[in-house]
A and B are shown apart, each in its own frame.
Chain A
Amino acid sequence: MVAKVIVRGKNVWKVYRSEAGDVEALRGIDVAIRKGEMVAIMGPSGCGKTTFLNCFSGLDDVTKGTVHVEGTNIHAMNDNKKSEYRARRMGFVFQSYNLLPVLTAVENVELPLLVSGVPRKSARAKAQEWLRELGLEGKEGYRPLALSGGQQQRVTLARALVSEPAIVWADEPTGNLDAENSQQVMGLLRSLNQAHEQTFIVVTHDAEVAKSCDRVIRMRDGSLQAP
C-alpha cells in the first residue's frame, strides 16, 4: 500500500528582497513527501536547502505557491495556529543544536510537551524516557554546554521526538559532528523512523548522510533537479 502524502508543495517560490536586488531562493518547487518517508534534501551551499526547510515547515512565509502539511495549507494559518501546529505535529533538529543553555537536558526535552499543554509530571517522565532511549541516562541534570557535541545532538533529537511529531525536520543534523558521531546519529534517526513511522526530512550536503535516507531530493539554484 502506498503511504499518504504528508507534505505537498506546489509552485513554491521564496524571494528575498534586498538593496542589492531580489534573490530567488526557491523557484517554483513542486514536491510531495509521503508519511513515514525519510527524505534527504541535498545540494551545494546556497542552493536553498535551509529555505526549503523553513518554508515547508512554516517557519518562514512563502512568496508564492502553497504548502500543505497533513492536508492543511500551513501558510493559511495565522501565527498562533502555526505555532500550535508546530508544537503538536513537528519536531526540529538543527546543526548547532539550539538548545537553551540555561535549561538542563531534561528541561530542554520537556519544553515542547509543556508548550503543547502536557502536565508537568507526564512531560518530565516522557522526557526522561526519551533521554534514556537515546543513551543519555544520568545526563538529565546537565546543562547543554556541559555535554559533548554528540550528546547535545542527541538531546536535540530527544526534544524533536518527545512530542511524537508527524514530521521531523533536520537541518544539517551532523554538520558539527565527527564521522563516528555522525554515523551514530544517522543510525538513530533511521531506527526511530522505522520504529515510529515518522516522516524525517533531512537537509544535508553530506552524501553519507543522504545514503541513510529512503529518497534524495537534489536542489540547485532554488530548483529541484531531476532524480
Chain B
Amino acid sequence: MSVGAVRVGAHAFRGLGSLFSSPAALLLLLLFVVLGFSLILALWDPLTARIGFRNFVRGRRRTAVLLLGLLVGTAIISSSLVIGDTVGSLSTHFTYVYDGNVHEAVYAPGYAPLPYSFFLKLNDSMATQKDVAGVSPLILAPGQVSGIDRQSGVPQTGMNLVGTDANVSQALGPFTSVNGRTVPGPLPGEVLLNPTAAQDLDAHVGDHLLLTGPTRQNETVTVQALVVADGRGGFQDNGEGNIFSTLSDAQGLLRMPGAINYVAVTNVGGAEGGIQYTSTVMSELTSTVPTVMSKFPSGTLPSSLGIHNVLQDDVNSAASSASSLTTLFLVIGLFSIVSGSILVVGIFVLLSEERRGQMGVARAVGMRRRQLVKSYYFEGLAYSAGSAFLGTLLGVGIAYLLVDLLVSVVDTGSTTQAVLTSFTVLPSSLLIAYVTGFLLTLGTVVLTVTYVSRLNIVRAIRSLPEPPLNRRSYLRVGVGGGLILLVGLLLVRLGLPDSVDVGVADLGVSLAIFGAGLIATSLIPNRLAMTGMGAALIVFWGDLPLRNAMFGTGHGGSIFVFFLEGIMLILGAIVIYLFNGDLVMKALRSLLGRSSKRVPVVMVAFTYPSQKPFRTGMTLSIFAMVLFTIVAIASIGSGVASNLSETVQSASGGYTMAGTSEAPIPHLAASVQNNSTLASDFSTVISFYSTQGVADPVSVPNASAFSARLAAAPVGVPADQNFYTSNQYNFSSTLNGMSSAKVWQTLQTQPSAVVLSGDFAGGSRSFFGGSSRTPVVPGEVLNLTVPGTPYSTQVHVIGLLSETLLSVVLLNPGTMTGTLHSNQSSLFLFTTAKGIQAQQSIYDLKRAYFGYGLQLMDFQQTLTSNLQFLVAFIDLLEVFVALGLLVGIAAIGILAFRAIVERRGEVGMLRALGFRRGQIFLAFFIEYSFLALLGIGIGVALGALLAYNLSQSAGGILSFSVPWVNILLIVALSYSLTVLATGLPSYRASRIPPAEALRYSE
C-alpha cells in the first residue's frame, strides 16, 4: 500500500475540545507565561532583543542548519503523541463496534440466568429516566456454541451466541446486511451471522446450520442474512464470530427457558454522545436494581448482580492502551530527545565560542554579562519557536509513515482501512508537542548560556585551561558528592520494597556511585576517581546477577528502567573515556603514526578530540545513545525471532496442540483410537481431569484471588501417554532449585503439590515491565476452590513453567479426583503422528467432537503468529529509534561545520607549514571518523550488553541474539552518513587558500 494512496480519514484533526484538556491547557498557559515574560523583557531591554533576533536571521543557511539540528527532540515527541492519538482513535473505534449502543449493563457473574420478568420490572423502573433511550433483554453465550454448516460441511466451535428480539431491543439499533440493507430480526428458526462466523463456517444465506450448546442441546437453523460487524453485528465479538438468534431460540439452545442473562441499557445521544450520561444512569441503576431485586422471592435471582459501566470503561481502557503505547514510544524516543538536547547545548556552546569577538566588543562597550545572556535568550527563543514548529509538523509526518509501515507489515484489508481512517492528530497533541519541544529547547539554551556566561569569559573563549581546583574547591566538591551520596542511599532505601518500581533503587545506587566518585576526587587523582565512578556505573548496570542479588529477581521495574540503564551505561563509558582519552590517543598516535608520512596528520587528527573533552563527550554521547537504542531493540527483535523454535519447544512441552471443550469428553484417547479417520493422526492424546477453579494466595498478604483452570493428568497409563514422564516442559523456577524430573515426581506423589503455568509468574523484570497480577513464586501457599461446590484444598507451589499458553494449575491427580471431586476431562494435549499436518488433524478433530465444543490451539501456529506480530512491532520501533541517527549525523555535521570555520586560521598555518590539501582533508576525516566510530562502538557494545541482560531476565522467551549483519549495515549507514556530513566541510577546509585561511586569525 502506498502512502500516497492513503487518505487521512474524517477522524484526523478532530477533537478541538481536547485542546483545552488539562495537560494541554497547563502547557498553553506556560507558553503564554514564557512569551509574556519574553515580551516584557524585550520591551525592557530592546537592544539585547534586537541583537538576539538579528543573530537569528544573520545567515539563512546557518539558521536552516541549526533549526534542523534543534527540531529532532520535538519531532520525536510529536510523532509519539500522534501514534498514541491514532491507536487511541483506533481502539475507540473498535470499542464502539464491540459495545455497540450498550452504555451500561446488568448481569450476574458467569452470565447466570435471570427471569425475563426482571427485565420487564427494570424497564418499567427506568422508563421515566430521561437520559435512557432504552433497556434491552439479551442472552449472551460467549464462545459456547459450536456449529456445522450442512451445505459446506465446515464445523466451527467456540462461537458467540447472542439472543435478541428486534421488537424489544430497538435501542440497540438495526442490523445492516453486507449489502447495506437494514435487516429485520432475527426471525424465529433463523440466525444472522457476522462476517467472522460466516467465514469460519463457510456459510451463505439460506444454508442450514446445526448448532450445539454447552449442554449438547442441538438446534437446526437457517441463515437469514449476513450482517456487517458494526456496533450491532460486531457486539461483544472478540474474534470468535457472532450468531444472532431470537431470544426464544437461544433459550432453547442454552436450556434456559423463559430466561435472559444480560440487560443492556442504552443512553440517549447515540453511542459516543451517550457516554456523558453514564454517571447519571449508573447512579440511577445503582438505586433501582436493588429495589427491583427486592421484588423477587429469594432464590429466583442470582445472589449478586453486577451493574457495569460498559462503554465508558472500555473507552477508558482504549485510551489507557493508547497512552501506554505513547509512553513506550516516548521512552524509546527519550534517547533521541536527550541526544537532541545535547545537540542544542553543543550548538549554543559553539555559537558562544564563535562569537567571542562580538562578545568581547559588547562587553568592552559596557554590556553586562546578564545582557549577553539575554541576547542569547532571544536568539534561543527564535530558534526554539521555529524548531518546535517544524519539529511538530515533521513528527506528524513520521507518525503517518510509521502507522503506514505498521499496517503494511501486520495486515491488509479491513483493519488497514480502520487504522488509516483512524489516523488522528489531536490539536492537544500538537500543542503538547510544540510547547514541550519549545520549552525543552529554550530551557536547554538558557541553562547552557547561563553556564557559559558564568565561566571566566577570557578563559572560556580562548580555551585556556581551567586552573587546578584548590583545597577549598575540592572540599566543596566533596560536600556536594556527600549530599548526592546521601540522596542516592535514601532512594535505595525507598526503592527496596517490591511494591516500588525498581528504577527508584537503581537510580539511588547510580547517584550513590556518582556522589562517591565526587568525594573520591578530593582524596585521589581525578583520573582514578572518575574512572572508578564510570566503571562502577557500568558494572552495576551491566552486571545483571549483581543487581538481582541486590534487589531480587522478582522486583519489577517499569520501562523507564530501560532508559535509565541506557543513560547510566553510556554515562559510565563516556566518563571513562574522557578521563583516559589522552592515553587512548597516545596509543593510537603511536600505532597509526609509525609511518613518518602519516605522523603529522595523525598527530593533528587525534589531538583535538582529547583536548576538547566537552565536544568529544557530546559527540560520543549522541552517537552512543542512538546506536545503543538501535542495537538493543534490534537484538530484542532478533532474540524473539531466533528463539521461536526454543519457544515452541518450551511452550508446547513437546505436544502439537492443546484442546479445551465446553462439555467434558469422556475417554477421548480411546475414542480417537476407535475413530478410523483420527486413529492414524495422533501418536499421543492426554486427557486431563479438569475444572474451572479459583486460587487464593493465602500466604501473600493483600494478594487477590484469581481464576484458573485446575487440571491433573491421570497416572497408571502407558509410558508414552504418561504426562509426568514424557512432557518436555521447562521450568522458569522451582522450589529450592529442584530438577524438572523431581518436580514432576513430587507432583505425582505429594497431594499438596502444584505446578503453575508461566503466565502466573508475572512481575519478573521483563522488558515491558511487570504484570499487574501479584506474581506467584515457588513455596507460596494457595487455597484452591471449585466454585459452585463445597470442595477446596490448600496446596503449595513447587514449580512455575516457562510456557504461558495453557494458563493452568496442575495438581496431584489424587487431590484432583479425591479432594476436589473433579474427574471429568475438558483439557487435552495431542501429539500428531509423524507426517501429519496439524491443520488437517485440527479439522478432523473439530468435525468429530464439535458437539462438545472442542476448541484447539496449534502451538506452532499460535506462537509463530504472536511472535511475528511482536517482531514486526519491534522492527517498527527500530525504525522509530533509527530516526535518532539523524540527530547523530546532524550533530557531527554541525560540529564539523562550525569547528572547521573556527579552525580556519589553524588550517592556514598548517598549509603554511607544508601540509598538503589531502593531508588537511585526511586529518579532519580521521578525527571525525574516530569520533563517530568510537561513539558507534560504545553504543553497539552497551546495546548488546543490555540485550544480553534482557535475555537473561526474560524467563526463556528471549534468547541473546544480536543481528550482526543488520547492525553492521546500520553502522555502515551511520558511518557513511557521517562521512558525508563531515566530508564536505573537511573538503572545503582543505581547499581554502592558505593566505585566506591565515587572515581569520590575524
Chain A residues within CB distance 8 Å of chain B: 50, 54, 57, 59-61, 79-80, 83-88, 92, 94-96, 98-103, 107, 111-112, 114-120, 123, 143, 145-146, 159
The answer on a CB contact under 8 Å between B464 and A111 is: no
The answer on a CB contact under 8 Å between B913 and A79 is: no
Provide the bound-state CA to CA distance between A107 and B602, in Å: 12
With contacts A60-B994, A96-B1002, A111-B600 taken as known, whether A83 is within 8 angstroms of B916 at the C-beta atoms is: yes
> 9 shortest A-B CB distances, which residue pairs?
A87-B914, A60-B995, A102-B611, A54-B995, A98-B909, A114-B600, A59-B995, A83-B916, A114-B599
B998 contacts across to A, CB distance below 8 A: 54, 59, 94, 98
Provide the bound-state CA to CA distance between A95 and B1001, in Å: 9
Instruction: Identify which of B596, B910, B916 contacts A117 (C-beta below 8 A).
Output: B596
B61 contacts the other chain (CB 8 A)? no
A172 and chain B: residue at smallest CB distance: B1002
The answer on a CB contact under 8 Å between A59 and B600 is: no
The answer on a CB contact under 8 Å between A98 and B914 is: no
B604 contacts the other chain (CB 8 A)? yes
The answer on a CB contact under 8 Å between A92 and B912 is: yes
A99 contacts across to B, CB distance below 8 A: 909
The answer on a CB contact under 8 Å between B465 and A143 is: yes
The answer on a CB contact under 8 Å between B463 and A145 is: yes
Provide the bound-state CA to CA distance between A80 and B914, in Å: 9
The answer on a CB contact under 8 Å between A79 and B912 is: no
* Shortest Cβ gap from B586 to chain A (Å): 12
A119 contacts across to B, CB distance below 8 A: 596
A102 contacts across to B, CB distance below 8 A: 607-608, 611-612
The answer on a CB contact under 8 Å between B603 and A114 is: yes
* Shortest Cβ gap from A146 to chain B (Å): 6
B232 contacts across to A, CB distance below 8 A: none
Provide the bound-state CA to CA distance between A57 and B998, in Å: 13
B23 contacts the other chain (CB 8 A)? no
* Shortest Cβ gap from B988 to chain A (Å): 15
The answer on a CB contact under 8 Å between A115 and B993 is: no
The answer on a CB contact under 8 Å between A88 and B608 is: no
With contacts A87-B913, A95-B1002, A120-B599 taken as known, whether A145 is within 8 angstroms of B995 at the C-beta atoms is: no
B905 contacts across to A, CB distance below 8 A: 96, 98
B103 contacts the other chain (CB 8 A)? no
Provide the bound-state CA to CA distance between A57 and B918, in Å: 20
Instruction: Identify which of B906, B913, B918 contacts A115 (C-beta below 8 A).
Output: B913
Instruction: Identify which of B596, B608, B993, B1002 contacts A94 (C-beta below 8 A).
Output: B1002
Provide the bound-state CA to CA distance between A69 and B67, in Å: 50
Provide the bound-state CA to CA distance between A94 and B906, in Å: 12
Provide the bound-state CA to CA distance between A118 and B596, in Å: 7
Provide the bound-state CA to CA distance between A195 and B919, in Å: 34
B295 contacts the other chain (CB 8 A)? no
* Shortest Cβ gap from B200 to chain A (Å): 73
Provide the bound-state CA to CA distance between A85 and B913, in Å: 10
The answer on a CB contact under 8 Å between B911 and A103 is: no
Taken residue by residue from 394 to 433, chain B's Cβ proximity to chain A (1 for < 8 Å, 0 otherwise) reads as 0000000000000000000000000000000000000000
Q: Can you give 12 A-B contacts (C-beta < 8 A)?
A: A60-B995, A83-B916, A87-B915, A88-B914, A94-B909, A95-B1002, A98-B998, A101-B906, A115-B913, A119-B596, A120-B599, A145-B464
Chain B residues within CB distance 8 Å of chain A: 462-465, 593, 596-597, 599-600, 603-604, 607-608, 611-612, 905-906, 908-919, 993-996, 998, 1001-1002
The answer on a CB contact under 8 Å between A92 and B913 is: yes
A117 contacts across to B, CB distance below 8 A: 596-597
A98 and chain B: residue at smallest CB distance: B909
A156 and chain B: residue at smallest CB distance: B909
B996 contacts across to A, CB distance below 8 A: 60
* Shortest Cβ gap from B875 to chain A (Å): 43
* Shortest Cβ gap from A180 to chain B (Å): 23
A145 contacts across to B, CB distance below 8 A: 462-465
Provide the bound-state CA to CA distance between A53 and B519, in Å: 56
A87 and chain B: residue at smallest CB distance: B914
Provide the bound-state CA to CA distance between A59 and B912, in Å: 7
The answer on a CB contact under 8 Å between B600 and A115 is: yes
Provide the bound-state CA to CA distance between A145 and B463, in Å: 8
Provide the bound-state CA to CA distance between A119 and B597, in Å: 9
Provide the bound-state CA to CA distance between A57 and B462, in Å: 29
B991 and chain A: residue at smallest CB distance: A79
B464 contacts across to A, CB distance below 8 A: 145-146
* Shortest Cβ gap from B588 to chain A (Å): 14
B462 contacts across to A, CB distance below 8 A: 145
B463 contacts across to A, CB distance below 8 A: 101, 145
* Shortest Cβ gap from A199 to chain B (Å): 17
A117 and chain B: residue at smallest CB distance: B596
A61 and chain B: residue at smallest CB distance: B993
* Shortest Cβ gap from A164 to chain B (Å): 14
A118 contacts across to B, CB distance below 8 A: 596
B920 and chain A: residue at smallest CB distance: A83
B1001 contacts across to A, CB distance below 8 A: 94, 96, 98
A159 and chain B: residue at smallest CB distance: B913
A143 contacts across to B, CB distance below 8 A: 465, 611
* Shortest Cβ gap from A187 to chain B (Å): 24
With contacts A96-B1001, A107-B603 taken as known, whether A79 is within 8 angstroms of B916 at the C-beta atoms is: yes
Provide the bound-state CA to CA distance between A114 and B905, in Å: 20
The answer on a CB contact under 8 Å between B611 and A116 is: no
The answer on a CB contact under 8 Å between B600 and A100 is: no
Provide the bound-state CA to CA distance between A116 and B599, in Å: 10
- Known A95-B1002, A98-B1001, A101-B611; 5 more pairs at CB < 8 Å: A79-B917, A85-B914, A100-B906, A118-B596, A146-B465
The answer on a CB contact under 8 Å between A59 and B913 is: no
With contacts A61-B993, A143-B465 taken as known, whether A100 is within 8 angstroms of B604 at the C-beta atoms is: yes
The answer on a CB contact under 8 Å between A98 and B608 is: no
The answer on a CB contact under 8 Å between A103 and B607 is: yes
Provide the bound-state CA to CA distance between A138 and B915, in Å: 28
The answer on a CB contact under 8 Å between B914 and A83 is: yes
Instruction: Identify which of B465, B604, B912, B917 contacts A86 (C-beta below 8 A).
Output: B912
Provide the bound-state CA to CA distance between A84 and B464, in Å: 33
Provide the bound-state CA to CA distance between A94 and B905, in Å: 11
Provide the bound-state CA to CA distance between A193 and B707, in Å: 100
With contacts A102-B607, A120-B599 taken as known, whether A112 is within 8 angstroms of B1002 at the C-beta atoms is: no
Provide the bound-state CA to CA distance between A225 and B596, in Å: 46
* Shortest Cβ gap from A178 to chain B (Å): 19
Provide the bound-state CA to CA distance between A10 and B22, in Å: 81
Instruction: Identify which of B596, B603, B914 contacts A84 (C-beta below 8 A).
Output: B914
Provide the bound-state CA to CA distance between A112 and B909, in Å: 11
B607 contacts across to A, CB distance below 8 A: 100, 102-103, 107
B604 contacts across to A, CB distance below 8 A: 100, 103
B595 and chain A: residue at smallest CB distance: A117
B917 and chain A: residue at smallest CB distance: A79
A79 contacts across to B, CB distance below 8 A: 916-917
B602 and chain A: residue at smallest CB distance: A114
B611 contacts across to A, CB distance below 8 A: 101-102, 143
Provide the bound-state CA to CA distance between A143 and B608, in Å: 13
A94 contacts across to B, CB distance below 8 A: 909, 998, 1001-1002
Instruction: Identify which of B596, B612, B911, B918 contacts A114 (C-beta below 8 A).
Output: B596
A88 contacts across to B, CB distance below 8 A: 914
* Shortest Cβ gap from A17 to chain B (Å): 13
The answer on a CB contact under 8 Å between B603 and A111 is: yes
Instruction: Identify which of A101, A103, A107, A116 contacts B914 (C-beta below 8 A).
Output: A116
Instruction: Identify which of A83, A101, A116 contacts B911 (C-beta below 8 A).
Output: A83
B915 contacts across to A, CB distance below 8 A: 83, 87, 115
* Shortest Cβ gap from B674 to chain A (Å): 89
Provide the bound-state CA to CA distance between A83 and B915, in Å: 6
Provide the bound-state CA to CA distance between A143 and B919, in Å: 23
Provide the bound-state CA to CA distance between A80 and B379, in Å: 43
Instruction: Identify which of B909, B911, B917 contacts A100 (C-beta below 8 A).
Output: B909
